[in-house]
Chains A and B, each alone.
Chain A
Amino acid sequence: MTITTYALHLLVILFASIFTENILLARFLGMCSFLSVSRQVKTALGLGIAVVFVMTCTVVLDWLAFQYVLKPFAIEYLRYIIFIIIIAAFVQFIEMVIERYSPVLYQNLGIFLPLITVNCAILGASLFMVIREYNLGEGVVFGLGSGIGWMLAILAMAGIREKLNNTYIPRGLQGPGITLILAGLMALAFIGFTGVLTSK
């Protein structure tokens, strides 16, 4: 494979993970925080940035652990536990680093970090990485793209929900109900991107 085709291949993975196979709207991962933290654009942005960062780093760490520890010892079935521990430890580590060196950033992003450990999108990205047998380059791009896709979806949802505050919504549909319907409409919109990749 030449360098240009490889670059193109990576670009396709990036585009696919952001739009056509959006980890939230097409794979349903990270729904819990998506539904509960999408009330304001500002908090959604904070959580989104944190997810992009953590997801990219943990996919790389999990890839290294899978290739160099789990595979040689033939204990792939332990990957769920190992991945969870890596994610929790990484988040804890980042929290301490940020707290120590950048109090401003800690004030803005710090509260979101514990939420991320239980975000299934993070673990999901690593598991998809294993199932699709990505190499390191593909894994990085996939983690980055999935994170960006998740951030894009929660930002758009927060923007819509801020506008919805002044609208009449039937009582039974308030809260999660209307959010699910909005997510469905957004998923429809994102399906529109599918044609871009196949027609190429």
Chain B
Amino acid sequence: MPNEKNIKNVVLDTLWRDNPIFRQILGICSALAVTNLVLNTMVMGAAVMFTTALSSLTVSLLRRWTPRVVRMMIETLIIAFYVILFDQTLRAYWPDMSRSLGPYVGLIITNCIIMGRAEAFANSNKPGLSLIDGLLSGLGYAVVLLAVAVIRELFGMGTILGIPMPFFSSNLWDRWIIMVMPPGAFFTLAIIVWIFRTLQFSKQIEAKGTGK
């Protein structure tokens, strides 16, 4: 069983200190396109969490029997397996959502975060810890995208989850059409990254000051 301290470190690392989107803007390809609606983003975030968690668990369970030379191929197949599972379920029970997400569910396979977690963590850690790590990496990713989606839908259409918001859906607010179009996604993510990095730098400087 993983001990307390390890879990706490894993939680902090994946959600804040090493959040994949903030650190390196990894893996946004497969998801930025669906951030114009909060609902789509929630489904996409769930898909990424599901895939990351279960593929990390599987990779970790199989790590003793996986030959090192072909491990990338096996990891890709494991990830693809879970993505297909999610895609088929979505298509069967929520066809409208499946259509509006288009090819982006399938593109989760090439999401660098999932492969990154499998390579960097699940390959050398116990199954339980890997599951938690995968789940939280997916969560950290989903939270950032959700933030982007909330801003885009609110400013662009005056709604959140399709529900009109008090001020933004009234005549007082001119809807920013640009926010629902592709450039809006770039600008919103850029500003969120900017805020996060500035916060991190100021914390670093503080830490250095007290260290002396």
CB within 8 Å of B: which residues of A? 25-32, 35-36, 77-81, 84, 88, 118-121, 123-124, 127-128, 130-131, 170-173, 176-178, 180-181, 183-185, 187-188, 191
Tell me the minimal C-beta distance from B122 to chain A in angstroms: 18
- Cβ A131 vs Cβ B103 within 8 A: yes
Bound CA span A170–B115, Å: 32
12 additional A-B pairs beyond A28-B28, A127-B102, A127-B106, beta carbons within 8 Å, are A80-B83, A118-B110, A120-B110, A123-B110, A173-B197, A177-B197, A180-B25, A180-B193, A181-B190, A183-B186, A184-B187, A191-B183
Bound CA span A184–B189, Å: 10
Tell me the minimal C-beta distance from A102 to chain B in angstroms: 27
- Cβ B201 vs Cβ A172 within 8 A: yes
- Cβ A80 vs Cβ B193 within 8 A: no
Tell me the minimal C-beta distance from B187 to chain A in angstroms: 4
- For this complex, 23 residue pairs linking A to B, each with C-beta atoms less than 8 Å apart, are A25-B182, A28-B28, A28-B185, A77-B84, A77-B88, A80-B83, A81-B77, A81-B84, A118-B110, A120-B30, A120-B107, A121-B29, A123-B106, A124-B107, A128-B103, A172-B193, A172-B201, A173-B190, A173-B194, A177-B190, A184-B184, A184-B190, A188-B178
Q: How many A-B residue pairs have CB under 8 A?
A: 120
Bound CA span A30–B81, Å: 22
CB closest residue in chain A, given B35:
A28
CB within 8 Å of A: which residues of B? 24-30, 32-33, 73, 76-77, 80-81, 83-84, 87-88, 102-103, 106-107, 109-112, 115, 178, 181-187, 189-190, 193-198, 201
- Cβ A171 vs Cβ B197 within 8 A: yes
Bound CA span A164–B94, Å: 46
Check A123/B84 contact, CB under 8 A, given A32-B26, A184-B183, A184-B186: no
Bound CA span A4–B182, Å: 33
Q: Which residues of chain B come closer than 8 Å to A172, judged between CB atoms?
A: 193-198, 201
Bound CA span A183–B25, Å: 13
Tell me the minimal C-beta distance from B48 to chain A in angstroms: 13
- Cβ B32 vs Cβ A176 within 8 A: no
- Cβ A118 vs Cβ B194 within 8 A: no
Check A27/B195 contact, CB under 8 A, given A78-B84, A184-B186, A191-B182: no
Contact of A80 among B25, B28, B32, B80 (CB under 8 A): B80
Check A127/B197 contact, CB under 8 A, given A28-B29, A180-B186, A191-B183: no
Q: Which residues of chain B come closer than 8 Å to A120, judged between CB atoms?
A: 29-30, 107, 110-111
Contact of A84 among B76, B182, B186, B187 (CB under 8 A): B76
Bound CA span A80–B107, Å: 8
Q: Choose among A25, A35, A80, A121 the residue with the greatest number of B CB atoms under 10 Å from its CB.
A: A80
- Cβ A118 vs Cβ B80 within 8 A: no
Q: Which residues of chain A come closer than 8 Å to B84, judged between CB atoms?
A: 77-78, 80-81
Q: Which residues of chain B come closer than 8 Å to A28, judged between CB atoms?
A: 28-29, 32-33, 182, 185
